[in-house]
Structure 1
């Protein structure tokens, strides 16, 4: 289950993120998404030659330690996963649009993106199709993971 994976991955970042992270704005969806996006982009910059996969849960981990005064209750975890999913989707949209605007996009990239999007949506709906307070978290983390991996797939195609 994705929630178990998230807990496992998050454990490695939790201590470090509590100690020295900037306080971010998690007051509403717009601010929370912008904060998550800032964290992700900073992480990607820091990991340019390293393991970018470390950046996938980074915003979630920081958000959970700060949102609702660090309560880390299920609502906070669900909310933070949502902010991360929206942020990764924004980053994906930006990378995809830069690729299209570059004029160097592979043939049929629009068809590929459309098919990828349909697959991702269905996969995440399938994974989180159960009753329970953690279903929203599983859905959002699935979206986060899929969008991040798609960013990693498309980024090398974007001319610098």
Structure 2
């Protein structure tokens, strides 16, 4: 089953075509990477998949839900780890993950449970009460990943 299906997607910025008639599918459990030079449209594609920007032509489906008509639903299926570290250094690791998971509507026991699962997955459960200010770049990246998957 395709977890992500992209059909004839095009995105233009004025006269510049960032993504042109792209079609592909990503199967459940598949590891998928986007490679290309600067300006090739990689970030644009990710932003369309995650409904951060609109599609000019074509359709993207996540778990068979169309991102055009179900943007909030499809956002609940996806998390994004930005190129630059995006965490709050004045919050503990657990507080960071809970903050971002809360943006997806998680509350109470489920919020704490999902946050701890994400910290365990990224190998940071033992750092839950620590502040990331002194963390290495790699540890901050792992915290960023935990924030993206805790929903």
| Range into which the TM-score falls when normalised by the shorter chain | 0.3 to 0.5
Bigger share in helix = 1
- Give me the TM-score of the superposition, normalised by structure 2: 0.34
Structure with higher strand content: 2
Higher relative contact order (CA 8 A, sep 6+): 1
- Relative to the length of structure 1, the TM-score reads 0.33
